[in-house]
Amino acid sequence: MPELPEVETTRRSIEPTLAGRRIVEVIVGRDRVLRRQPVPELFVPRVKGNTVTAVGRLGKFLDVSLADGISLVIHLGMSGRIEHHPDSEIPHARHTQLVLTTDVGEQLRFVDPRTFGFVAALDEDERHLVFANIGRDAFTDLPTARELREAWGRSRSPMKALLLDQKVVAGIGNIYADEILHRAKVHPLLRGEQLTTRRIATIHAAIHDVLADGLRWGGTSLEDLAYLLPDGRAGQFKERLAVYGKTDEPCDVCGRAIRQITVRQRSTHFCNRCQREPRA
């Protein structure tokens, strides 16, 4: 699923196409893509003819500001991606759920085969509801190590689950959580209440560093190529992953075989030499 580095790569790529442009045509695919729109009939009229003032992001959400206070929120879900086309000539890919055409004729298309993603054009109150349980952005607004300790330090949840919980830190998903814990040399089952000040500082640094690395390489495109950059290229971070999806391969740091376990129903990869098991 696209996580912060993939969504931020997408944001940076579509910003020049959208910023300051008027949206002259809007085509919606399946009704299901509008399921987070309180009144689905309002989506097209709120977007069509409107002008983009800013192309933002919070966690895994694209958050596009329009001129009259409306926010166009896009979540790529499990398998969504944005395509950029300089014109409307190329036929729509299967599973195209949204097409936006700008006043200079460029198109952005949201393609989402499984439709776990959504698009919504929201007024201020509606936007607050969608973002009510979303915490601070893991890259641009990462809480301090002290704030993370306050948020996590009494929790009995394993670190893997705490990193995935979007309420405190938003944008980390399954791939980058595993990478962050390996970089920090922290076992995925270590509980929040077991964290020392030093470990929190290590995790804090690893969150920033791993996300920055992912972003530098355009994010992670897995074998399914569900995520691609808007220009059609694949993100290159997969070749640089340390543990995610590398079960039984040797750890780059120590050579021991990477292990896979399930934590709260999520597949989890780690090195049990670099990331020592916590004492019960």
Query: Which residues bind to Zn ion, rule: CB under 5 A?
Result: 251, 253-254, 271, 273-274
Q: Are strands 118-122 and 71-75 parallel, antiparallel or unpaired?
A: antiparallel
Q: Closest distance between Zn ion and the C-beta of residue 52, in Å?
A: 46
| CA atoms of 9 and 147, how far apart (whole Å) | 27
Token digits of residue 115: 């439709």
Is the four-CA dihedral 22, 141, 111, 133 of positive or negative sign? Answer: negative
The answer to whether residues 203 and 34 touch, using CB atoms and an 8 Å cutoff, is: no
Which residue, 144 or 247, is less far from Zn ion as judged by CB? 247
Cβ closest to Zn ion, residue 107 vs residue 268:
268
Phi/psi of residue 266, nearest 5 degrees = -110, 130
* Residue 38 C-beta: closest distance to Zn ion, Å: 49
Least Cα distance to 183 among 153, 213, 139, 217 occurs for 213
* Separation between Cα atoms, residue 165 and residue 155, nearest integer Å: 12
The three-class DSSP label of residue 54 is strand
Whole-angstrom distance, CA of residue 176 vs CA of residue 195: 19
Q: How many CB atoms lie within 10 A of CB 243?
A: 26
Which is closer to Zn ion, CB of 26 or CB of 274? 274
Q: Which residues are known catalytic residues?
A: 2-3, 60, 266
Q: In what order do the strands lie in the sheet with 71-75?
A: 52-58, 61-66, 71-75, 118-122
Nearer to Zn ion, 53 or 260 (CB): 260
Bridge partners of 202, per DSSP, are none
In the complex, least distance from residue 181 CB atom to Zn ion, rounded to whole angstroms: 12
CB nearer Zn ion, residue 264 or residue 276: 276
Paired residues of 25 in beta bridges: 101
Name the helix (H) or strand (E) containing 56: strand 52-58
Report how far residue 41's alpha carbon sits from residue 37's, in angstroms, rounded to the nearest whole number. 9
State which residue, 44 or 253, has the beta carbon closest to Zn ion.
253
d(CA 71, CA 87): 24
